[in-house]
Amino acid sequence: MKFENLLAEVGGFGKYQISIIALLVIPRVTLPFHFLLNNFIAAIPSHHCDISSLDADGILGNLSQEERLTVSIPAEEDGSPASCHMFSYLQFHLLTNSSSSTELPVVECQNGWEYDNSTFKSALATEFDLVCDRKGLNKATATIFFLGVMLGAAIFGWLSDRFGRKRMLMVSYLITILFGVASAMSQSFIMFAIMRFFTGMGITGISIISIVLCVEWADIAHRTIAGVIISFDWSLSTMILPGIAYLVNDWRSLVITVTAPLGLAVITWRWIPESARWLIANGRLEEAHFYLSKCASANNRQQNLRDIKPETLANIIIAEGKGDRKYSYLDLVRSPKMRKLALLTGITWFGVAFTYYGISLNISGFGLNLYLTQFIYGAIELPSKLVAYLSLDRLGRRYSQVGTLITTGVCIGITVLIPRDLWLPRTIISVLGKGFSEASFTCVFLYTTELYPTVLRQNGLGYSSFVGRVGVSLAPLVSLLDEVWLPLPQVLFCIVAVSAGLLALLLSETHNVRLPETIEDIEKTRKRSVCSQHEYQLGTESYKQTK
């Protein structure tokens, strides 16, 4: 007997599954809030040297602000004041002589900076002076956060396969709340960096556990729609984020605001069920029967479970060791086909995450308003979800993954070839690339969840996410390579996306295929049965006869 047949009896996609998705959306809205938060709290406003050290005698008192800057700070090519240098002494002759100031002696800022607070009341740059020679630390805040995400993916992947999905979901809530609030109260950059690292470690548990819970409760026919629906919260939250950042333009208040939904998530956690698949695979039959009964009741299928006792569930999934064996990441490399699967999913995740965040964390490249650009990036993700759903349903998982990754790389490559003064076509191609990169992320979450067996599903997703977050951590640093050669970051993003897409062709197709339950299901040579509608009905009838 297959779990899918039992799930069909209690309702594979009814009110119960919809309620699970609704409950998981509450914590998931914080994911894009925190993952893309750096675009706002780490933004660098216009700034110039504080010139008070040049005006010790008050001799600038009769000059306008523009005149003070003229005699104190050299001008850039566009006429704006230099950001990181000032004259070594006042140059009053520039008030009457408009000759170039580039040959005059300058020094680095001696007394800090003055910032333009018209857009941001405060940001990390203004709070901790992360400008000029410390400018790289702004990019580093994103890398530090995603290093935490990377570590959290490995930790929560293992813990949730060991101790259950639901329990670890609450742990991730509490860690994110604790360190999210602590980061908002940081008194130094070092403290902020440490708190953001642990915030990232906690929040990744929400990401990988929620998608697995959603898919494990859905039947074969509805796994695609379930995986796509739950990913809509990311796109909607990405569109909402710039509005929140515009209204809450103090970085400390913004961090607390985007963490706040987890308070409600803690309250509603009690109604989220544990995965029945995981419970059966680990020999906890009484609990599995309890949740399956709740599912049948919510979906008006109580009569179909009436004759099933907890002990009979042991025949649904026969896991190695009958629930006594504990699995770890080592099981991903102990057998040949698992090693191949781990290698390929890792490469695919690296390519998806590296290119997605390479685009998403560079929203200043359009020359548009910061908030408008973020909104456009979020809006383009909505139709990309529809494209992902149609592609996953019609073309299958493998070709959808390959197609979206390669198309993302091609779009990035085209932007390298279009001259920068052609603003409109560059913007259109960049937005299309962002849309396909989001579609590839939608595909990879569902695809990876279906590729790994139940006993290792969270370990597999945790490992894959870990490798993906390596790419995310590198993306902000790769963006700094534009100082070596302006198109170099885009060239690297393009090469990685196309290469990962081609290697994804080596993965197995999982569309309309029963989820593997054990490592043996992956390793055995015979192909796992594809569940057509006719076979599905036959399996269900056979299941009814065993009752």
pLDDT in tens, 164-195: 999 999 999 999 999 999 999 999 999 999 99
End residue of a domain, out of 299, 323, 347: 323
End residue of a domain, out of 302, 323, 344: 323
Please check whether residues 270 and 339 belong to one and the same domain: no
Q: What is the mean pLDDT of residues 46-58?
A: 80
Q: Three-state SS for 484?
A: coil
Please check whether residues 217 and 252 belong to one and the same domain: yes
In this structure, are residues 218 and 18 in contact, taking their beta carbons and an 8 Å threshold? no
End residue of a domain, out of 268, 294, 323: 323
Please check whether residues 253 and 276 belong to one and the same domain: yes
Q: Three-state SS for 441?
A: helix
Q: Is 11 left (phi over 0), alpha (psi -120 to 50) or beta?
A: left
Please check whether residues 238 and 360 belong to one and the same domain: no
Residue 303 resides in a domain:
yes
- pLDDT confidence of 547, banded at 50, 70, 90? very low
Residue 54 resides in a domain:
no
Q: Output 410-416 pairs: Cβ under 8 A, ≥24 positions apart.
A: 410/494, 410/498, 411/436, 412/355, 412/359, 412/490, 412/493, 412/494, 412/497, 413/490, 413/491, 413/494, 413/498, 415/490, 416/487, 416/490, 416/491, 416/494
As a residue count, the chain comes to 547
Place of tokens 């993954």: 401
Q: Which residue has better confidence, 407 or 513?
A: 407
The burial class, CB within 10 Å (0-12 / 13-18 / 19+), for 58 is: exposed
Q: Which residue has better confidence, 499 or 544?
A: 499
Q: What is the pLDDT of residues 276-287, one digit of tens each?
A: 999 988 889 999
Beta bridge partners of 47: 115
Say how many C-beta atoms besides its own lie within 10 A of residue 324's C-beta: 9
Residue 442 resides in a domain:
yes
Instruction: Output the pLDDT for position 363.
Output: 65
Amino acid at 344: L
pLDDT for 59 beyond 80: no
Q: Rounded CA gap, 267 and 492, in Å?
A: 44
Please check whether residues 381 and 479 belong to one and the same domain: yes
Please check whether residues 132 and 197 belong to one and the same domain: yes
Residue 28 structure tokens: 């998931």
Residue 298 resides in a domain:
yes
Q: Which residue has better confidence, 13 or 308?
A: 13
Say how many domains are in the chain: 2
Q: Which residue has better confidence, 544 or 183?
A: 183
Q: Rounded CA gap, 75 and 104, in Å?
A: 11
Residue 524 resides in a domain:
yes
Instruction: Output the pLDDT for position 533.
Output: 46
Please check whether residues 349 and 469 belong to one and the same domain: yes
Please check whether residues 276 and 338 belong to one and the same domain: no
pLDDT for 54 beyond 90: no
CATH value at residue 197: 1.20.1250.20
Q: Rounded CA gap, 92 and 72, in Å?
A: 9
Q: Rounded CA gap, 371 and 119, in Å?
A: 10
Q: Rounded CA gap, 227 and 386, in Å?
A: 12
Instruction: Output the pLDDT for position 201.
Output: 96
Residue 404 sits at φ, ψ, to 5 deg, of -70, -35
Instruction: Output the pLDDT for position 53.
Output: 75
Residue 457 structure tokens: 């599903």
Residue 393 structure tokens: 């349903």
Please check whether residues 273 and 416 belong to one and the same domain: no
Residue 518 structure tokens: 């054990």
Q: How many helices (H) and strands (E) does the chain have?
A: 22, 4
What average pLDDT does the structure give for the chain? Answer: 87
Is the sign of the CA dihedral 297, 301, 303, 309 positive or negative? Answer: negative
Is the sign of the CA dihedral 139, 142, 145, 148 positive or negative? Answer: negative
Instruction: Output the pLDDT for position 427.
Output: 82
Q: Three-state SS for 250?
A: strand
In this structure, are residues 282 and 323 in contact, taking their beta carbons and an 8 Å threshold? yes
* Residue 46, CA distances (Å) to 37, 43, 120, 122, 414 in order: 19, 10, 10, 12, 31
Quick one: which H or E segment has residue 331? Answer: none
Q: Three-state SS for 136?
A: helix
Q: Rounded CA gap, 309 and 280, in Å?
A: 13
Residue 513 sits at φ, ψ, to 5 deg, of -110, 140
Residue 115 sits at φ, ψ, to 5 deg, of -115, 150
Place of tokens 């025949």: 315
Instruction: Output the pLDDT for position 99.
Output: 63
Please check whether residues 308 and 193 belong to one and the same domain: yes
Instruction: Output the pLDDT for position 538.
Output: 41
Please check whether residues 485 and 539 belong to one and the same domain: yes
Q: Three-state SS for 254?
A: helix
Please give the share of the chain, as a percent, with pLDDT higher than 90: 54
Q: HEC states along 146-179?
A: HHHHHHHHHHHHHHHHHHCHHHHHHHHHHHHHHH
Instruction: Output the pLDDT for position 368.
Output: 59
Residue 496 resides in a domain:
yes
Q: Rounded CA gap, 323 and 331, in Å?
A: 15
Of the CA atoms within 13 Å of residue 47, those in its CB half-sphere come to 24
Residue 100 resides in a domain:
no
Q: Rounded CA gap, 445 and 392, in Å?
A: 12
The burial class, CB within 10 Å (0-12 / 13-18 / 19+), for 519 is: buried
Residue 488 resides in a domain:
yes
Picking from 76-80, 362-366, 379-383, which range would have the lowest pLDDT averaged per residue? 362-366
Instruction: Output the pLDDT for position 544.
Output: 46
- pLDDT confidence of 78, banded at 50, 70, 90? confident
pLDDT for 111 beyond 80: yes
Residue 281 structure tokens: 């695979």
Place of tokens 């009741």: 297
Instruction: Output the pLDDT for position 267.
Output: 98
Please check whether residues 271 and 367 belong to one and the same domain: no
pLDDT for 424 beyond 50: yes
pLDDT for 527 beyond 70: no
Q: Give the domain extent around 464.
A: 334-546
The burial class, CB within 10 Å (0-12 / 13-18 / 19+), for 263 is: exposed
In this structure, are residues 371 and 247 in contact, taking their beta carbons and an 8 Å threshold? no
Q: What is the pLDDT of residues 454-489, one digit of tens each?
A: 889 989 999 999 999 899 889 888 887 887 898 999
Amino acid at 343: L
